[in-house]
Amino acid sequence: MTLSPFYKPEHDAFRDSLRKFVRREIEPYANQWDEAGEFPRELYTKAAAVGYMGLGFPEQYGGTEGDRFMRVIAMQEIARAGCGGVGAGLFSHTIGAPPILHRGSEAMKARVLPQILSGEKISALAITEPSGGSDVANLRTTARREGDHFVINGSKTFITSGMRADFITLAVRTGGPGASGVSLVLIEGQPEGMQRTSLKKMGWWCSDTATLYFENVRVPVESLIGKEGEGFRAIMLNFNDERLHGAAGAISAARVCLEEAIAYAKGRVTFGKPIVQHQVIRHKLVDMAQRIEASQAMLELLTWRLEQGENPVAEICMLKNQATTTMAYCASEGVQIFGGAGFLRGVKVERIYREVKVNAIGAGTEEIMKDLASRQMGL
């Protein structure tokens, strides 16, 4: 891949370091972990040691200062392992911890963030409920104030790292209906009345995903993240980066499909010659590359615009869809080029093919992205 002018020497050095880490610590074990349904917890501390975990968080909490291009690089490099479950689980703190950083008390930040960014503790975000996912303003899980505690009742589902998270940033209703009644509280450990149930999925097998149940769970009022009624805004502020990161990973997964397909096409012989010498295969590869390069260019431009302080919500929604449809196309064509070998478990294109839909659904479905973009465009 030719690096764009947006990248500086420090970006290139960071990319090289992470690529070596992925090749050494993740890629050789990716299929084994996927089949096992989990990856070792020690991977968090190993990732922290190379600057993965604290990227973009202040140094005072154990973070590693870096711009959005650094975070895009991190998402794209880990995706090269061809196992989205590792990235989803390892980076669940990138959606669970920012509300703590931006809205939590200084005491909460000083106590909680260093544990997360060192890889010692795992962070998760719990918003989606069985009754609805994207309609955050109408969530039903309640937190009722009783003296110096909140009493929580309700449930959450599709929670990444939900089974083993030590800190859960939980969206609850502390007030009346609508967005103004939504708050965030921090759940620590395994309080009495909380239960977790593991979910089996089409893809991302090694990323634990759970449904969480809360029955009269009591947490101290100091667990409130920010002020009551400001949870909805805190959640919305994180969506630009979440969608940007998701798009980065999807584009990188698409590129992996292209690279794997090229390598296979050069070695697979039919009718007396490698299949890459058949025009129909070459055209498939060109079509894959065309979509990937267009998506990557859009990603880098929007990352730069965010760094300039812009808020291009409509374009980020479109980028998310552009990236996930590119991933879907390349995963399908990659498996097609592999033929029967692509239908067998254990190759990257097969794993990525199973992960297409979660990328098209998570952080806002394709349909919601189009609707939000159209509203931002004044349509």
Active site residues: 242
Strands 123-126 and 269-270: unpaired
- In DSSP notation, 38-105 reads ---THHHHHHHHTTSTTBTS-GGGT-B---HHHHHHHHHHHHTTS-HHHHHHHTTHHHHSHHHHHHS-
CA angle 319/324/330 to nearest 5° reads 125
Interior/surface letters 54-65, b for 16+ CB within 10 angstroms, e for the rest: bbbbeeebbbbe
Q: Is 6 buried (19+), middle (13-18) or exposed (0-12) by CB count in 10 A?
A: middle
- Within 8 A by CB and 6+ apart from 64, the residues are 51, 54, 55, 56, 57
